[in-house]
Amino acid sequence: MSAFHYRLQRVLDAREAMMTRCEMRLAESERELDRCRREQEACDAAMRQQSAKHAATAEKEALSVREHIVHRAWIHHLSDCLTQSVRTAANTLDTVNKRRDELRKALVDHKIMQSLSNKERSAWVANANKKEQIMLDEQATSVFLRNRKPTPPSTHDNPQLEHHQ
């Protein structure tokens, strides 16, 4: 009996490769999203720290106009960094969601191909079992016929033999 060969094996292999690529791209995007969120948290923490430092300094002593302008420029810079990191994180989150959808689709496609493979294999096994059963039946019949003792022809079985006698 020959081995089972799935006729769409190359397609199944391609689906598996696509699924693996989608998993890798999703993992890469999730790492990028984590990096963006850490950057966002760092900008937010720096902005809060600078605001707290400025408030503490302003309570103790009067700030000059120049120091106040420098502080406002620094806060504006930190605000821009925070805004940019929020935008980057949002864009990266969109990318992550798209890649999750791609992975979900790849998983569904792979599952469909795997299901087809299982159905085809089941049909192949059933056909192989049927052929084997036919072969065993033929062998049993031939052994039975070989071991059977020949019986003389009966007149009841063949009415032509009665007329010849």
Place of tokens 């009966």: 154
> Does a structural domain hold residue 141?
no
pLDDT at 162: 54
d(CA 54, CA 140): 100
Task: Please name the amino acid found at residue 57.
Answer: T
The CATH number assigned to the domain holding 108 equals: 1.10.287
pLDDT digits (tens, 9 = 90+) for 16-64: 898 999 999 999 999 999 999 999 899 889 888 888 887 777 777 777 7
The dihedral through the CA atoms of 112, 115, 120, 123 has a sign that is negative
> Does a structural domain hold residue 99?
yes
Long-range contacts of 39-42 (CB under 8 A, 24+ apart): 39/85, 39/88, 39/89, 40/82, 40/85, 40/86, 40/89
d(CA 163, CA 63): 141
How many helices and strands, by DSSP H and E, does the chain display? 3, 0
> Does a structural domain hold residue 146?
no
> Does a structural domain hold residue 163?
no
> Does a structural domain hold residue 87?
yes
d(CA 21, CA 15): 10
Residue 163 is encoded by which pair of tokens?
A: 């007329």
> Does a structural domain hold residue 66?
yes
> Does a structural domain hold residue 31?
yes
CB 106 within 8 A of CB 71: no
pLDDT digits (tens, 9 = 90+) for 68-90: 788 888 888 888 988 998 999 99
> Does a structural domain hold residue 132?
no
The pTM of the whole model exceeds 0.75:
no
pLDDT band at 117 (very low <50, low <70, confident <90, very high): confident
Q: Which domain holds residue 36?
A: 9-112
pLDDT at 25: 93
pLDDT at 153: 66
| Number of domains the chain is built from | 1
CB 110 within 8 A of CB 15: yes
